[in-house]
Amino acid sequence: MASSVNDITSSETKSPLTWLITGCSSGFGLQFARHALAAGHRVIATSRDPSKTPALVSEIEGAKPPGRGRWLQLDTSAADCGALIDRLETGQEEADGPHPPTAVNVLVNSAGFAITGPVEGFADQEVCDVMETNFFGPYRLMRAALPHMRRRRRGVIVNLSSGSGLEARHALGVYGASKAALDGISKTLAKEVAEFGIRVLQVYMGSFDTPMGHATKLVEQPLDPDYENSMVGKTIGVFQSGQFQALGDHKKAVRAIYDVVVGEGAGAGLGREVQMMLGKECAVRAIEVRDGLNHMLETFGEVCNGVDLD
């Protein structure tokens, strides 16, 4: 029987949760949907264009007993994407037939994409596109889900981030900025809603065996010759050559996140954690951040503490 998250620290009762998951056409979103269904939960899988993945839609919606799996259209870059949650919660979402009001217990913001290029090479629209999907979309969905979760005094929000949001990576400046923005809002939100029994979990990811690495785009502006043999050019070359090699197993990662959400297995007793890292590369990024902060404290500690008003 599936676990039910009662509060921010425990999962004492046993009943299915309803998971709303974005980006289910592939990768982490799809695996979250499969894993939650296999564990006995209810799943609302979403993607930008469900008509492109009819076999996957049939798989999720064919889960037994009938009605435990649904697949709905959701474009996280749309300004009104949060309206889907309001329609579900009030029973007004009838895209696949009439349904009673649906309480979203777990929101998983998995949808995302990346564009590579030097920071100076991005057009405004490219930056906006990345930010809309990776930051504004999750933020809108969180804003829509929170009033309902607060009313019930329970709920979990999971945001998939990246090691490049922790520490700078060549050619991934805009992608990293979008994840860093999500990081900042998530950490603040976690503090604001903890007293209402709502958990927010920010998961920093290394590279995993999903289509994302091979689907990463390149900025439209041609690369300046200065960058061709630099670390920026070499990083772009890895993505563009089709030889990108991920280190992580996304199925293992999903299981680890699931365990932390429901408080089982390796996640038992970790209900108060708001940050989680997965993948060896991400551990390297965390060490870089720690060492950088220590260096800053050692270098500027005296100056930092010497600028107060007399």
User: How many other CB atoms sit within 10 Å of the CB of residue 247?
Assistant: 12
Query: Choosing from 77, 164, 179, 186, which is the catalytic residue?
Result: 179
Q: Are 145 and 157 in contact (CB under 8 A)?
A: yes
3-class secondary-structure state, position 18: strand
Beta strands 69-73 and 3-4, pairing class: unpaired
Spatial separation of the C-alpha atoms in residues 206 and 83, rounded to whole Å? 31
Q: What is the CA angle 167-173-177, rounded to 5? A: 75
Gyration radius of the chain over CA positions: 20
Angle, helices 54-61 vs 27-38, to 10°: value is 20
**Which residue in this structure is represented by tokens 């999750």?**
138
- Provide φ and ψ at 88, rounded to 5°: -65, -45
The yes-or-no answer on residue 241 being catalytic is no
Burial of 150 (0-12, 13-18, 19+ CB in 10 A): middle
CA 239 to chain centre: 21
Query: Choosing from 139, 175, 227, 258, which is the catalytic residue?
Result: 175
The yes-or-no answer on residue 15 being catalytic is no
Query: Choosing from 11, 25, 161, 178, which is the catalytic residue?
Result: 161
Spatial separation of the C-alpha atoms in residues 173 and 276, rounded to whole Å? 22
The yes-or-no answer on residue 161 being catalytic is yes
Closest CA to 117 of 225, 246, 220, 244: 220
Spatial separation of the C-alpha atoms in residues 177 and 79, rounded to whole Å? 20
Where are the strands (E) in 48-169, listed by range?
69-73, 106-109, 115-116, 155-160
Catalytic residue numbers, as ranges: 161, 175, 179
